[in-house]
């Protein structure tokens, strides 16, 4: 009687290399070593750093012209008043000054805008007002609401729009000093009644 060879256990599949199904399963299952060797993707690189945007180029700087500063300084200087010369002898200078004042009032000048100065003997109006005392006399000067008469040598500092200078006497130095005072007091117009030893410097 012929004896056949049996499997070593029940329910155990055959591992015969000739079985095509078993050979295919063995080749398709990955080994643990191959899985561990697969590299993982690293962190993504961030966006590139932004370079600063250059601003607009600076414009050209303006340099002031050499004469600009000088012109601004000249503009800030006080302007000299207009000058009118009315020839007259010393003894007639006061009358000539009175005529000039009357003409100024007739053409619309306010009385408080006019100051009359003398180089020698005071005007009769001044002599009259000073007879009531110096305080009352100078109070009218401060009020500035009427024509005021004073000696050029001792007139208080103040400006009037129009100054009338009566050259009614005095030597060359006195007249020159009176002219300087009249120029300093006049705002827009200086009228000189009489003869001046030297031309008035403007």
| Helix ranges, the chain (H) | 20-28, 32-36, 66-75, 93-106, 124-130, 134-143, 172-185
- Give me the pLDDT at residue 158, please: 82
- Give me the pLDDT at residue 58, please: 53
Q: Nearest-CA neighbor of 197 among 181, 187, 178? A: 178
Q: Is residue 39 part of a domain?
A: no
Mean pLDDT rounded to a whole number for the chain? 76
- Give me the pLDDT at residue 2, please: 47
Residue-range definition of the domain harbouring residue 162: 111-197
Beta-sheet strands, E only, within the chain:
82-86, 114-118, 148-151, 160-166, 186-193
How many structural domains compose the chain?
A: 1
pTM of the model: 0.61
List C-alpha distances in Å: 170 to 87, 130, 181. Answer: 16, 22, 15
Q: Phi/psi of residue 127, each to 5°?
A: -60, -40
- Give me the pLDDT at residue 44, please: 57
CA 121 to chain centre: 50
Q: Is residue 149 part of a domain?
A: yes
pLDDT average, residue stretch 108-117:
96
Q: Is residue 93 part of a domain?
A: no
């Amino acid at each position: 009687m012929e004896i056949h060879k049996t499997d070593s256990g029940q329910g155990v599949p055959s591992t015969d290399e000739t079985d095509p199904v078993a050979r295919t399963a063995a080749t398709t299952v990955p080994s643990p070593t191959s899985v561990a060797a697969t590299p993982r993707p690293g962190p993504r690189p961030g966006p590139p750093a932004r370079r600063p945007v250059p601003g607009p180029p600076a414009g050209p700087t303006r340099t002031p012209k050499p004469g600009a500063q000088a012109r601004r300084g000249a503009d800030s200087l006080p302007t000299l008043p207009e000058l009118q010369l009315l020839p007259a002898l010393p003894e007639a200078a006061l009358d000539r000054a009175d005529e000039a004042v009357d003409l100024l009032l007739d053409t619309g000048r306010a009385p408080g805008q006019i100051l009359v100065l003398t180089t020698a003997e005071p005007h009769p109006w001044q002599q009259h007002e000073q007879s009531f005392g110096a305080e009352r006399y100078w109070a009218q000067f401060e009020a500035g609401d009427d024509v005021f008469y004073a000696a050029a040598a001792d007139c208080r500092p103040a400006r009037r729009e129009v100054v009338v200078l009566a050259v009614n006497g005095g030597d060359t130095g006195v007249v020159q000093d009176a002219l300087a005072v009249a120029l300093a007091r006049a705002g827009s117009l200086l009228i000189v009644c009489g003869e001046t030893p030297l031309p008035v410097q403007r």
